[in-house]
Amino acid sequence: MAQQSFEHDTLMTGNGPVEMWFLGHGSLMLQYNDRIIQIDPYSSVADYAALPKADMVLITHQHGDHLDLNAIGKTRKSTTEIYCNALSAPKLPEAKVMKNGDVIMSGDIKIEAVPAYNIRHERSPGNPYHPKGEGNGYVLTLGDKRIYIAGDTENIPEMSKLKDIDVAFLPMNLPYTMTPEMVADAVRMIRPAILYPYHYGDTDTNLLLPLIDRSRTEIRIRKLQ
């Protein structure tokens, strides 16, 4: 990690800190109680051979910038737990498949798979970039904190069912995910204490600032293109 420069924040929980590294694109690395969690590891943003080996890998969906076998191969060890959506499973036969609504405990970490899909943005009429039911977002409960990693999604109605979210990572990579206005609508549904726009490509994150009630949600902009 010394030769790779990533922005880094710490979230305090009632059971120790969560260290968060913002690797880039849709890729995050968390450390909680000595466990390393890699989310959508992607070779274009980091040299995973130089990072700590993962105890857990979460894959949101099967697109190549989220399911990167080379990056997974470099971060995994013999005991690494891998969780993925069903369409990623053919490339990850050892993974545990989670569908929308599934809940799994891994030690003291609770993992909830939640919907992630497009309503408006399509490759062609009737062909959304991310069809409903295919991909996952994940809610991780770490100590007394709940972290929502949305995956590739728009501001879908199911977000209104998410409760007590302390940190939300919401994508803003056009045309595949949300506009700033969609992110603002998602924030009104989720009501997170902290928002990190992530996977935002060339979208200007400053466009969010006048759209969010910052007395209720703190916006933290980090390098996550």
Q: Is the dihedral of CA 41, 224, 165, 14 positive or negative?
A: positive
Instruction: Give the three-class secondary structure for 145.
Output: strand
Nearest Cα to Cα of residue 36 among 123, 107, 93: 107
- Residue where the block lists tokens 């995994």: 76
Query: Which residues sit opposite 97 in a β-bridge?
Result: 84
| Prediction pTM value | 0.95
Residue 225's pLDDT band (boundaries 50, 70, 90)? low
Whole-angstrom distance, CA of residue 99 vs CA of residue 114: 8
Distance of CA 163 to the CA centre of its chain: 17
Which domains occur in the chain, in start order?
7-219 (3.60.15.10)
**pLDDT tens sequence across 43-100:** 999 999 999 999 999 999 999 899 999 999 999 999 999 999 999 999 999 999 999 9
Instruction: Record the tokens describing residue 192, joined without a space.
Output: 């997170």
